[in-house]
Structure 1
Amino acid sequence: MSRHYDVEAVRKEFPAAERIVYLDSGFQAPLARPVMAAIETFLREGLETAGPKSVWLDRVEQTRAKVARFLGVSADEIAFTKNTSESMNIAANALPLRAGDSVLMIHGDHPNNTYAFLNLKKKGVRIDFLPMTDVVNAEAFLPYIDDTTRAISLSHVTFHAGHRFDIESIGALCADKKLYFVVDVMQAIGVVPIDVKAIQATFVGCGSHKGLLVPQGLGLLYWNQTLKELEPAYLAAASLAEIPDDLIARPDRLASSPTARRFELGNFNLPAIHALGASLDMIEQIGVKNIQNHCFDLGDHLLAQLDDLGVSLIGPRQRQHRSPHIYVVGLPATEWLSYFEENGVRVSPERDGIRISFGMFNTIDDVDRLVHLIRGRLSKKSFKAA
């Protein structure tokens, strides 16, 4: 049962959740029936009609509009990419950073955000790191800002322990200090409500195979369209303001699109974009706030059970600082991962233990099954929590 929506009805849309206890949506969400149906429609059309490309491209724009509504922005501010890593690299290379400039990041944040900026060191850009703490907000960044600081980049929710950073206060700080602000929302989107305008971000990027329920291979990038100075590091016909009708390249017509399409290279991942359209319909029907609150309830139940067992939580406990859906428990992965797998429970190994990550389809029974397995093994003297 859930206080927020009919979770049993939602669960029926995820066949994998009926076969195993799936607590690994922070790695990859299981496929939902509506998402699969959208992909099958695309494949069937390709099989039977060799592909109605104009129809498919119309659906791309319909999905772009859905993404924009979902994030509270204009469709002209949304670009499709391959994944979070590409989105972060596009953002890092679009910022007008020069030798001597510095970027602030969080030590231990996701590597594929960090590497995108570390790669700018060859241009003479300095990357400075704040320590990872349970609370990261504007106050944490303020002492690190100096005359060389040009940008801040970080995740909304961390993948390894479920920290939820105060990105609105950091965005306000960036606006006040006239800094660029780049946010990776991969572990938040689809579970945590995101109001991009409230964040005041320059770029927001993510993939779609976790909270957005789409198979791997599709990413999203929001670009604050008022920042016209941010140009792509590469160029293709699809990214131009004027695409030549005869498709002959002209050196005197190189202006980038005035929209976020300036960051696209064309030839979209069409089946994944079809899938995203279906998943957004599904998520919006349930409501992201309802999904968030349901996951928070599951987390509260999990924490109470872990406390009873004497098993530690890695990362923040308070709701205002933790993600709704990601919890890392102090059980050594080398000793526990195969045990869970053998008993039909899917979780992930993490830096400091076992990561449990909820999806919209999980129930209290899933948590209780996990806890039952932990309790049973801890009762044997040879196994102890970390």
Structure 2
Amino acid sequence: MSTMSVPENFVKPEIVAPAGNLESFFASTEAGADAVYLGLKKFSARRLARNFTFEELSRVVRFAREKNIRIYVALNSLVFPGEIKELVETLGVLEKIGPDALIVQDPAIFYLVYNYFPDLKIHASTLMAVHNHLGAQELKKMGAKRVVLARELSLEEIREIKERTEVELEIFVHGALCFSYSGLCLASSFLGGKSGLRGNCVQPCRRLYRSRGETGYFLSANDLSALEIIPELKSIGIEAFKLEGRMKPAEYVYQVVSAYRLVVDAPRGKEKDAIKEGLEILKEAPGRKPTKGYFIQSKRKVNALDILAPHRSGTSGMWVGTVSRRNGNKVVVKVRQQLKTGDRLRPESTSGKEKQAFIVRELEKRGKRVDVANKGDTVRLVTGTNLEPGDKLFKVGSKAKNKWPSHSMLL
């Protein structure tokens, strides 16, 4: 990790957190997000999330304003000609609600906002694939106050863009990565007419493929995790760090925001301790195998094996225990991290082969049914999956009741 120091006059970057629903919005704010980005029921590149109605957005904006938290509306899908009337009506409503900015991909929205809705600010979406200072400068001319850079940039390239442009810059530092370049993937459209650029991606990159006699998830990228290089990213002077996750549950969002809040706020000389603590927090937010993505390159090349994990279909998860023996449809497990009924587990064999995931329906401790097993406990659990001694169990999700409010705090 670089030891580059942060300039004395440096302004701390925003942490921009995701909210696919009201629960995640509150999780983001309680964890310390400076700004929250969210989408409407239409014109969002995450249309499969629950998203927000105009009424919900209006309440969210009022709530956030009282807390000095900024709200960015992701109006970042491509727009068809037949949708222009509805788009104009949407922009009119948004101008009255007054979010802090719109995140935009389609040049048509740039044009309409710049000429007819001047009170609305624009942030250029990462889907515009801006990867150099010329692109950033051009978007500034088009009316963008901020540019969210493409994910496929190294630290050196980001630094060069920052030095050669005057527009605010934002970068993704955590979350899912696409196999294709930011905003240029047509695979979902090709396979079923569902465009990822219109929020309907069916994620063909996450599917199982066969090639040259082998099967694997050959296009499935690991999850970006730049927590360990936040001090170096701060030294570049980027205005905002963005966390992906509008399709993620509130618990995940809370943990990720908390980890990055800790590291971003760490004073000089305390970054290593903050990173260590932050990495422990991230263990409570199961994701795919972490990678620093394109940030770290050698001779302008990335390590493909660091970004791709062909043997895993999804989240790596948190290692919660190892199977010690099997008895019929029950297995005995020594618990490493807290385990609850309702948790979803992904088994992995001693050879690293992934097995069928399952949900914990029953837990037994010393012959009695329990709902929770803590670190160090030995428990029996029922499983329909063919598990063997030595198999590791990774928690990849939970059906535990959400602890965040929804509508009540906005009334």
TM over 0.5: no
Higher fraction of helix: 1
Higher fraction of strand: 2
When normalised by structure 1's length, the TM-score is 0.31
When normalised by structure 2's length, the TM-score is 0.29
